[in-house]
């Protein structure tokens, strides 16, 4: 069993890293040129919406694996670049303070909330499809926040 788990995760991360490098190398700059930073804000949440909707309807390991490979590789490449790009118009002081707060407090808060949601969902036995539908709802909120962020970015003149 440990061998299967090791092979599964090894293969999973091999594909995440390979696809992440390919997206970063060949797609990110083209996406920025084609739809800009504001448009790129919607790529990962849209991808996540489709992925979790498919997972909710077809909660099969192969489907979940493929969806998570696509989501994680896009997060590590495109989404990380977008996140850093949004800091470009800020001052050095703003960057230092905001990035420190985000990287320490808010990322950890997200981890704690995620653990709480998994614990609660496990206790309620909602299953994979239930978690997927919950993620669809969270992704709808994410798309709303991306809309707000995009509008603010436009108002700032970028």
Q: What is the secondary structure of 24-70 as a DSSP string?
A: IIIIHHHHHHHHHHHHHTTHHHHHHHHHHHHHHH---HHHHHHHHHH
Helix 61-74 to helix 2-22 angle (10° resolution) is 40
**What integer best gives the mean pLDDT of the chain?**
95
Please tell me the pTM assigned to this model.
Answer: 0.91
> What confidence tier does 89 reach under pLDDT thresholds 50, 70, 90?
confident
> What confidence tier does 129 reach under pLDDT thresholds 50, 70, 90?
very high
Residues 6+ apart with CB under 8 A from 57: 129
């Amino acid at each position: 069993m440990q061998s299967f788990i090791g092979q599964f995760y090894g293969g999973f991360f091999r594909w995440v890293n390979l696809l992440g490098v390919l997206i970063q190398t060949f797609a990110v700059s083209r996406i920025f040129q084609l739809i800009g930073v504001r448009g790129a804000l919607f790529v990962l949440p849209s991808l996540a919406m489709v992925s979790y909707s498919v997972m909710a309807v077809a909660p099969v390991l192969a489907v979940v694996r493929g969806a998570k490979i696509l989501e994680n590789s896009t997060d590590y490449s495109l989404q990380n670049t977008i996140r850093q790009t949004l800091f470009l118009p800020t001052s050095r002081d703003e960057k230092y303070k905001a990035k420190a707060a985000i990287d320490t407090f808010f990322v950890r808060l997200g981890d704690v909330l995620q653990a709480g949601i998994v614990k609660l969902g496990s206790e309620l036995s909602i299953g994979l499809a239930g978690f997927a539908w919950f993620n669809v709802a969270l992704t709808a909120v994410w798309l709303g926040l991306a809309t707000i962020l995009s509008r603010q970015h436009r108002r700032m003149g970028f």
